[in-house]
């Protein structure tokens, strides 16, 4: 109920609320800051009802905490939005619901036009994101009930940008691993690349699932940019034009180290926030182990690449002798 009372389910990229937390919910007036097409619209609402009661639905009994607010003069719409938290007695499950009834307010023509064009879309988007956000925040509270920071202040929009950036880097990691498995490499490097490809693909799929819970999708622009950058990086000659360069495995493994460090940072960050997959800490540890393996392989590859000429010359002299 705390998350519902504090209006924490509202996505701040759509709606922000300003109110006096010392005022009881039943007497609360709120200033809502609506975000649409880069504009900030200020709108007032007043709570018109709140309480807890028992209800029945389809033969099931549940305890319902409810509250609602109605729009005040100056709002872009006239109407009411309801919020309900149901706890079912037969299963213990908790369900969050929201519903709105409204019409365009009698305001200036520009506001009325904007409401007719965007109003219904924004109402549906608000309700959808409110439900997904409530589920995420509830999970975070259950994982870390004594967390030092308030979960209500979580900015889902910025978190989604962060996740999208790391999704693009996971695409790059998968492509590097795929290139290493498709070319001639030492057996230990080939084995490592195969494992790395499976991990990168699994982490990418997991992160896409997390983005869908944030009501977001991966960025196609970032995806295409990192894919193209990885392909261009593969064209680096490394001192050879015709034959493969012995430095190629070194640069690939160094790229893997950088991308694995980013992957480790992603999962440790989500684990700290208690947001995202429950196995975030395990994914971070797996990235740490792969990072250590990549470093060992990198040093071995560098040793072989930079001493190859000396070893070949020594072998030639031995053959002549």
Q: What is the 3-state secondary structure (H, E, C) of the chain?
A: CHHHHCCCCCCCCCEEEECCCCCCHHHCEEEEEEEECCEEEEEEEEEEEEEEEEEEECCEEEEEEEEEEEECCCCCEEEEEEEEEEEECCCCCEEEEEEEEEEECCCCHHHHHHHHHHHHHHHHHHHHHHHHHHHHHHHHHHHCCCCCCCHHHCCHHHHHHHHHHHHHHHHHHHHHHHHHHCCCCCHHHHHHHHHHHHHHHHHHHHHHHHHHHCCCCCCHHHHHHHHHHHHHHCCCCCCCCCCCCCCHHHHHHHHHHHHHHHHHHHHHHHHHHCCCCCCHHHHHHHHHHHHHHHHHHHHHHHHHHHHHHHHHHHHHHHHHC
| Cα–Cα distance measured from residue 90 to residue 87, given in angstroms and rounded to the nearest whole number | 9
- Say whether both 313 and 180 belong to one domain: yes
In angstroms, how far is the first alpha carbon of the chain from the final one? Answer: 86
pLDDT, mean of each 10-residue run, the chain (321 residues) = 88 89 93 85 92 93 95 85 94 92 75 67 84 87 70 78 93 90 83 95 95 84 66 55 70 93 96 88 96 95 79 49 50
pLDDT of res. 293: 96
Residues 167 and 139 in one domain: no
Are 229 and 283 found together in one domain? yes
Please check whether residues 35 and 173 belong to one and the same domain: no
Q: Are residues 65 and 82 in the same domain?
A: yes
Residues 244 and 143 in one domain: no
How confident is the model at residue 306, as a pLDDT? Answer: 87
287: CATH: 1.20.1260
Show the tokens assigned to 170.
């996971």
Domain boundary among 152, 169, 201: 152
Which of 152, 173, 190 is where one domain is finished? 152
- Give CA separation, 52 vs 1, 84, 271, 309, in Å: 10, 10, 34, 81
Q: Which of 152, 183, 217 is the last residue of a domain?
A: 152
Domain that holds residue 95: 2-152
CA–CA dist 161, 182 (Å, integer): 32
As for how many domains the chain has, the answer is: 2
Give the predicted TM-score (pTM) of the model: 0.73
- 88 plus 193 within the same structural domain: no
Q: What is the pLDDT of residue 94?
A: 92
Q: What angle do CA 60, 9, 114 make, to 5 degrees?
A: 110
Does one domain contain both 182 and 302? yes
pLDDT of residue 223: 64
194 and 71 together in one domain? no
Residues 164, 147, single domain; the answer is no
d(CA 290, CA 298): 12
At 234 the pLDDT is 56
The pLDDT, as a whole number, for residue 248 is: 82
Query: Can you read off the two tokens belonging to residue 273?
Result: 């926030």
Same domain for 58 and 183: no
Q: Are residues 197 and 316 in the same domain?
A: yes
The pLDDT value given to residue 257: 95
């Amino acid at each position: 109920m705390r998350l519902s009372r504090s209006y924490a389910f509202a996505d701040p990229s759509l709606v922000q609320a300003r109110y006096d937390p010392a005022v009881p919910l039943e007497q609360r007036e709120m200033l809502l800051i609506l975000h649409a097409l880069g504009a900030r619209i200020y709108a007032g609402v007043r709570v018109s009802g709140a309480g807890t009661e028992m209800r029945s639905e389809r033969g099931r009994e549940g305890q319902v905490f409810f509250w609602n607010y109605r729009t005040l003069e100056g709002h872009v719409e006239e109407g009411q939005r309801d919020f309900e938290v149901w706890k079912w007695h037969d299963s213990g499950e908790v369900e969050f619901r929201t519903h709105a009834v409204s019409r365009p307010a009698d305001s200036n023509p520009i506001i009325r036009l904007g409401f007719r064009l965007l109003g219904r879309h924004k109402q549906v988007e608000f309700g959808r994101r409110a439900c997904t956000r409530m589920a995420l925040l509830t999970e975070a509270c259950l994982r870390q009930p004594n967390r030092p920071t308030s979960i209500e202040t979580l900015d889902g929009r910025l978190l989604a940008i962060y996740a999208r950036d790391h999704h693009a880097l996971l695409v790059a990691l998968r492509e590097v691993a795929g290139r290493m498995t498709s070319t001639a490499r030492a057996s230990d490097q080939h084995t490592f690349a195969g494992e790395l490809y499976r991990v990168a693909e699994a982490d990418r799929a997991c992160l896409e699932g997390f983005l869908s819970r944030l009501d977001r999708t991966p960025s196609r622009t970032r995806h295409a940019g990192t894919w193209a950058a990885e392909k261009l990086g593969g064209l680096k000659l490394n001192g050879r034009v015709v034959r493969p360069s012995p430095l190629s495995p070194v640069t690939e493994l160094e790229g893997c180290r950088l991308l694995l460090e980013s992957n480790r940072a992603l999962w440790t960050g989500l684990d700290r926030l208690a947001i995202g997959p429950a196995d975030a800490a395990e994914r971070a540890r797996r990235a740490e182990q792969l990072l250590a393996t990549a470093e060992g392989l990198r040093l071995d590859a560098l040793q072989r690449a930079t001493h190859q000429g000396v070893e070949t010359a020594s072998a030639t002299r031995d053959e002549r002798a």
